[in-house]
Structure 1
Amino acid sequence: MKMRWISMLFLCVILLSACNNSIRPKAVPAANMGEDASIDEISHESVTSPKPIEIQITAVGDVMVHGPQLKAQYDRISGQFDFHNNFQFIKPYIESADLALLNLETTFGGEEKGYSSFPRFNSPDSLAEALKTAGFDVAVTANNHTIDTGMDGVVRTLEVLQAQGFKTIGTRKSVEESRFLIEDVQGIKVGITAYTYETPAYGKNKTINALIMPSVLEPLINSFRFDRWKEDLSQIKSTIDAMRVAGAEIIVFYLHWGEEFQRSPNQSQKQIAQDLNAHGVDIIFGSHPHVLQPIEWIKHPDHDHQTLVVYSLGNFLSNQRYEILKNRYTEDGMLVHIKIQKDLVSNGTVISHVGYQPTWVHKYVRGGKRIFEILPLPQALQNPQVFHLSSSDAQHRAKLSYHNTTSLLQQELPGSMPFSGPKRKVHKNDIE
């Protein structure tokens, strides 16, 4: 009878310990359980398998600075440009990521070139500092505005970003530098690279946005042409192989592709995604259309590898608005949150969750000055005064943006597609 009582007591302790583990917040590691942790709980954890590592990757789309934004962010008193307020409401959601990425669709060519917007973007260096303060880690510099300020602008853009602590992908200062990054994020090696489409060649010269790319610059920009994709794919495949050799456990691509203002991917995007899937790419983030496009898993018919494709992340920050383009969808953006888990026993790495968070650029006038603020939705709609949504028109437009995004992305997204480990529980995509 005594032995049975002891056995039941021991079982209760084990069950209690397991329950405590299941509800402990992710941010509180076992080593910080505090003085109330029991000896039984500590000893139980010491003999079980180690918990999987989990990280979160967050990605956003195009960051652009148009003329009205330049005027709005200029402080007449200090004579400086300040972009911090653009990100004040979205910052907590970026900072929560272990790795946050953006597409920089402008250049830092320097004040002496004159700040400008479309068709050739040149933004103040202070934008880089504001983006870093907002919590971003990696900046994509390969897009159709990469050479807007010439070769020296390509190099200077990298220098400005790197001086702020950014890692950069898509362009490089010399051929000795790698075309990709391997980021060790809490023990998970994430390989990241970026490529942009080219426009038709001018004679023997490559072009981007119809601007001739100096021959010395060609090998410094990761690019491809839609009409010669199969040829360019061989070079891209060598980059993928090199990432694997360098230890990448997952491979992330940013691709500047697609058709502007189209909410559906075209056939070229679908073909490129399938080809990259065949070569083992795990996640694709798309930019350039300036509107959101669907998210889906794709699978090659000849093998089981699956790739998560975000066809277009839309605009994150811009002045592309309904009043100008008669297109409301250019105001819609999103943060895509992808959680990655690594099993420390099998070393298998999987996507454990995929979520998205709609955003909307709120433009309004306060004290005679234009204000641009990126708002997290639906949080801003739930607390309009806190997020400066004071007018009924602004609230209507924010609601419309939220509806546009959620109606486009209301599909089942399995949150567990394996890279090299067992499948895990499937989650429905949700708004975080």
Structure 2
Amino acid sequence: MTSVEVKHMKEKLWLVMIVIVFVLAGCTNTPQSDAESKKMTLHSPSSMEKSQIHYATISTATLSAIGDVLIHDTVYNDAKTDQGYNFTPIFQGVKSHLEQADITVANSESIIGGTEIGVSSYPTFNSPTEVGDAMKKVGVDVVSMANNHTLDQGIIGIQNAIEHWDRLGVAYAGAALSEDEAKNICTVTKHDITFSFLSFTYGTNGIPTPTGQDFLVNRIDRDKITSDISRAKKISDVVVLSLHFGNEYERMPSAEQRELAHFAAEQGADIILGHHPHVLQPPEWVQTSDNRQAFVAYSLGNFLSGQENLYRRIGGIMNIKVEKQTTALGSSISIAKPSFVPTYVTSERAGNYAIKPLKEINDTYYQHIKQHMRTWIPDLSFAY
């Protein structure tokens, strides 16, 4: 081997050794300080991530409620046409107010059993199904069916009414045609907020429920109210409870009304809608032991009827805003901004019936009703 070849071999060996040293150095864990180690193993949330922890989505929905739709003979005779009945013109004056809400609920007091079983008036009512058609056209989405006239026409009246509400796509609560149907909770969802609707009545004017068919109409029973509210809360965000209770024509709720409403609120009812007195009774907020605020409208009066007394002609539209706030920790519901539109049923010689905003009829009556409805909620607003 020449001296030149030896020199080249030594250079190659030297290069190999250098490569080995670098490879070994790369495979060796270099000691780090505690601080450096923590930087590598702990994750500090970014400002964006911190905001996401507190981020909330907010959904809102509005509910409107009206009182008794009780069709006396003077009303359905006024609505009679050559083709049947047309009640839509009667509601036309308040249509724009009813359509504004996401959900509108009404008390369908006289059963809409239809002409096939004969229309009738007080004391055992039966109304044309066209009443339901008109209510649907002006924006009613849900009806309460549990009241003292539910059994006026027996099972056939309830069956005809339910079948017609189903055809119209109007939800209902308080009456059913079977045990299985009665177990279903009526719900309506708007803007990611689910409302459940329950309905109960104090009685049925002495008409007994047929034996073994208690499902036909819900009677006020505290155990059942508690149970149904509990079931409703599991499948909805807001529980709306209709109660047919109180004393007729009394403009202030009785002690029994207030006690039952407070009881229902404690069980979880969020909005309580009262019917039966046929006159307006002032609403109030109820503070519950679990720190909720429930809204109670003790009586929404007559929305449409043939009754002639001044206060029995006055009803209204109660509007309530519901807000749902959802975070990573869950969701919460708040009920706020109740507002009211007083209404008045006009007629001429038991004809030409029309529902109109009270403000357009008589300002003195309007101011009086404002004061009355603000008895317990001084800041109750009036939408019109």
- Superposition TM-score tier, normalisation by shorter sequence: 0.7 to 0.9
Other-structure match for 2:269 = 281
**Where does 1:219-368 land on structure 2 (aligned, <5 Å)?**
219-224=215-220, 232-246=221-235, 248-300=236-288, 302-322=289-309, 328-345=310-327, 347-364=331-348
Please give the root-mean-square deviation of Cα atoms over the aligned residues, in Å: 2.0
Question: Residue 112 of structure 1: CA displacement?
Answer: 3.1
Tell me: higher relative CO, structure 1 or 2? Use CA pairs within 8 A at least 6 residues apart.
Answer: 2
Aligned equivalents of 1:151 and 1:281: distance in 2? 29
Residue 120 (1) aligns with residue 116 (2) = no
Other-structure match for 2:352 = 371
Aligned equivalents of 1:306 and 1:343: distance in 2? 16
Other-structure match for 2:377 = 413
**Where does 1:25-424 land on structure 2 (aligned, <5 Å)?**
52-75=58-81, 78-177=82-181, 178-198=183-203, 208-224=204-220, 232-246=221-235, 248-300=236-288, 302-322=289-309, 328-345=310-327, 347-364=331-348, 370-378=351-359, 380=360, 395=361, 398-411=362-375, 413=377
Any conservation in 1 of the 2:230–2:268 contact (CA below 8 Å)? Answer: no
Other-structure match for 1:388 = none
Change (3 A) 1:81 1:400: farther
Change (3 A) 1:299 1:51: closer
Other-structure match for 1:20 = none
Aligned equivalents of 2:168 and 2:261: distance in 1? 32
Any conservation in 2 of the 1:170–1:179 contact (CA below 8 Å)? Answer: no
Aligned equivalents of 1:187 and 1:402: distance in 2? 36
* One-letter amino acid matched to 1:306: Q
Q: Among the aligned pairs, what percent are the same residue?
A: 31
Aligned length: 328
Stretch of structure 1 that moved more, 139-148 or 269-278: 269-278
Aligned equivalents of 1:123 and 1:404: distance in 2? 33
Question: Residue 413 of structure 1: CA displacement?
Answer: 3.3
Question: Residue 278 of structure 1: CA displacement?
Answer: 1.6
Other-structure match for 2:37 = none
Deviations 1:326-385 (A, max 9, x none): xx21111010000011123362211131111110111136xxx9211111232x2xxxxx
- Once superposed, which parts of structure 1, at least 4 consecutive aligned residues long, lie more than 3 Å away? 48-51, 398-401, 411-414
Aligned equivalents of 1:51 and 1:431: distance in 2? 29
Stretch of structure 1 that moved more, 352-361 or 255-264: 352-361
Aligned equivalents of 1:112 and 1:182: distance in 2? 30
3-state DSSP class of the match of 1:121?
coil
Any conservation in 2 of the 1:107–1:145 contact (CA below 8 Å)? Answer: yes
Aligned equivalents of 2:144 and 2:376: distance in 1? 29
Aligned equivalents of 1:179 and 1:193: distance in 2? 10
Q: Give the TM-score normalised by the residue count of structure 1.
A: 0.72
Change (3 A) 1:193 1:340: same
Stretch of structure 1 that moved more, 59-68 or 178-187: 178-187
Any conservation in 1 of the 2:240–2:272 contact (CA below 8 Å)? Answer: yes
* One-letter amino acid matched to 2:268: G
Any conservation in 1 of the 2:145–2:175 contact (CA below 8 Å)? Answer: yes
Any conservation in 2 of the 1:331–1:401 contact (CA below 8 Å)? Answer: no
Question: Residue 213 of structure 1: CA displacement?
Answer: 1.6
Aligned equivalents of 2:172 and 2:212: distance in 1? 20
Q: Give the TM-score normalised by the residue count of structure 2.
A: 0.81
3-state DSSP class of the match of 1:370?
coil
Deviations 1:236-288 (A, max 9, x none): 21111111222x11111000000000011112111111211221111100000
Question: Residue 188 of structure 1: CA displacement?
Answer: 0.6
* One-letter amino acid matched to 2:373: L
Larger radius of gyration, structure 1 or 2?
Answer: 2
Question: Residue 401 of structure 1: CA displacement?
Answer: 3.5
3-state DSSP class of the match of 1:211?
coil
* One-letter amino acid matched to 1:212: P
Aligned equivalents of 1:342 and 1:189: distance in 2? 10
Question: Residue 51 of structure 1: CA displacement?
Answer: 5.6
3-state DSSP class of the match of 1:210?
coil
* One-letter amino acid matched to 1:244: K
Aligned equivalents of 2:83 and 2:148: distance in 1? 30
3-state DSSP class of the match of 1:321?
coil
